[in-house]
Amino acid sequence: MIGNRDAVESLDERECWELLELAPMGRIALAAAGEIDIFPLNFAVHAGCLWFRTAPGTKLVELTVNPEVALEIDGWDEGEAYSVVVKGIAERLEHGAEIAEAEQLGLRPWIPTPKTRWVRVRPRVITGRRFRRAANDVDD
């Protein structure tokens, strides 16, 4: 049996970035006017930031009210699970050079809706943990 101290391992920043680069999608948490919203999204890692596309609507409005966000990814297999959380400031990209840089990332929407706006998240804090799974926890 794994002891509690051996069951959870903190990841260093390099490991967190490696997992972020491999993640096909994540969830972003936004808070505006006392409400918290969480949205699934795909994103790209580039130049020490996270980049995503979105459409005009709730996310952009909430980012205008409060640009502080948290983005979380996770994953698991038979033996372990992990979670990485990035807390940072989201910036709507408005200038041609920034948008041109973002377009070079090759990030495409997963669903067939126009996602014409770009957002860059500048991380303030990146944390991650890896969990050893218990033998009876394999199918959860």
What single string gives the DSSP state of each residue in 60-123? HHHHHH--EEEEEEEEE-SSEEEEEEEEEEEEE--SHHHHHHHHTT----SSSS---EEEEEEE
The pLDDT tens digits for 61-72 are 899 899 999 999
Q: How many domains does the chain have?
A: 1
Range(s) of the domain holding residue 38:
4-137
Phi, psi (degrees; rounded to nearest 5) at 13? -60, -35
81 pLDDT exceeds 90? yes
Averaged pLDDT for residues 96-106? 94
pLDDT for 2 equals 47
- pLDDT interval class at 103 (50, 70, 90): very high
pTM for the model stands at 0.87
Instruction: Say what the pLDDT of residue 58 is.
Output: 86
Give the pLDDT band of residue 52 (cuts 50, 70, 90): very high
pLDDT digits (tens, 9 = 90+) for 113-135: 889 999 999 999 999 999 998 87
The enclosing domain of 32 has a CATH number of: 2.30.110.10
pLDDT in tens, 9-44: 999 999 999 999 999 899 999 998 888 999 999 999
